[in-house]
Each structure stands twice: as structure tokens, then as C-alpha cells.
Amino acid sequence: MARIGLFFGTDTGKTRKVAKMIKKKFDDETMEKPLNVNRADPDEFASYEFLILATPTLGEGLLPGVSADMEEESWEEFLPKIDDKDFSGKTIALIGLGDQEGYPDEFVDALGELHSFFAERGANLVGSWPTDGYEFNHSEAVGEDGNFVGLALDLDNQSNLTEERLNLWLSQIASPFDLNL
């Protein structure tokens, strides 16, 4: 088993694409292949010491899942399966995808939901990201320090910045994840 688990939820495939972009930078000993959470085993998920988790925000700020009109299960259905797990001692970095122009009042809100879920279970959350360069009205993913609680990506309106933001963010989490970039 690799040191880092890489899990995502997706509706349109954009979050899967980002997860694959990350995986291409690391060998199989360092990082597992990206896995959709609708195919993840809760015990295997919880066995990783390091996790990178990615989610889109759907509609009115929802986690992906059946109630967000998805055809398949996703984070909404997976989180209750790991509700009783203790993530103390685990290092987790989060990525949220959203559309800041189409949904400026709930930009990457699902990122904030994932952050709250894992923080409540003792995880060491790393990888906050500045809000500079984004234009939105409100986001549940903005922490008390004024930064996003993870990497925020907008593939709808700023896809040209994705690779650069991803590389900078990976450099930022390299030390807590013991990554060689």
C-alpha cells in the first residue's frame, strides 16, 4: 500500500481529472491511484496516514451525492460510513472545485464541509490557500484566518490557473506529507 491515499468525489469528471493530475507527479509507492469515494472501502480509507481528498461543490453549496441530483453516490453517502473513525494523527489536505461566477454565494462550500467533518474527528488538516485571485461573495470554505481551508480550483472560469495553483499547493504540503517534488 502506498503512503498517501488520493480520493475524490465527482459529478462531471473535473475532480477526477484534478486527482489524476496529482497522481501523475508521484510514483505508486508514494501515492495510490485516485479512487472515487463511491468505490472506497471505509476501513482502507481510514488506514492511510496521509490523505488528499477532493470534492466539487454542487448546486446551492452541496456535497456531491444523491440529494444533489447525482446518479451515483459520493461524499454525501461516504461520510456517514466513516463517521465513527478517529482521524487523530492523520494528515489530510483538501481540494475543492467550484464555479465562482455561477455560484458566487456558495463557492467551494463542500470543501468547508469536508474540512469540518475531518477536523471534528481529530485530523491534522494542512494546505490552506489564499483567497486572492478569486471573485466570490461568500464561501463556507473560508477559515477564520481568511484563507480557504484547502486548495480552491475553478475549472469553469480559471482553468488556465489550475496547473500553477496545483503545483504551488503541492509544494506547500510537501513538508507535512514528506513529499519529494
**64-90 pLDDT tens trace:** 999 999 989 999 999 999 999 999 999
Contact 128, 148 (CB under 8 A): yes
CB atoms within 10 A of CB 82: 17
Q: Which grid cell sits at 28? A: 505508486
Average pLDDT, the chain: 96
pTM of the model: 0.97
Domain boundaries, the chain: 4-177
**103-157 pLDDT tens trace:** 999 999 999 999 999 999 999 999 999 999 999 999 999 999 999 999 999 999 9
Write down the pLDDT at residue 2: 86
Q: What is the CATH number of domain 4-177?
A: 3.40.50.360
Cα–Cα dist 129/45, whole Å: 24
Write down the pLDDT at residue 180: 82
Q: What angle do CA 35, 40, 45 make, to 5 degrees?
A: 95
